[in-house]
Amino acid sequence: VQLQASGGGTVRTGDSLRLSCAPSGRTFISAASGWFRQAEGKGREFVASITWGTARELYADSVKGRFTISKVDANNTVFLEMKSLRPEDTAVYYCAAAPVGPSYYSEYEPKRFRWWGQGTLVTVSS
Residues 6+ apart with CB under 8 A from 106: 112
The CA distances from residue 14 to 17, 39, 45, 60, 63, in Å, are: 10, 19, 21, 19, 13
Mean pLDDT of 4-13: 97
Q: 47-79: per-residue pLDDT in tens?
A: 999 998 888 999 999 999 999 999 988 888 999
Q: 74-100: per-residue pLDDT in tens?
A: 888 999 999 999 999 999 999 999 999
C-alpha count within 13 angstroms, C-beta hemisphere, residue 78:
31
Please answer whether residues 13 and 126 qualify as being in contact, where contact means their C-beta atoms are separated by less than 8 angstroms. Answer: yes
Question: Any alpha helices (H) in 37-92, and if so which ranges?
Answer: none
Residue 75, classed as helix, strand or coil, is helix
Spatial separation of the C-alpha atoms in residues 70 and 72, rounded to whole Å: 7
Mean pLDDT of 15-31: 89
Strand-pair partners of 70: 79
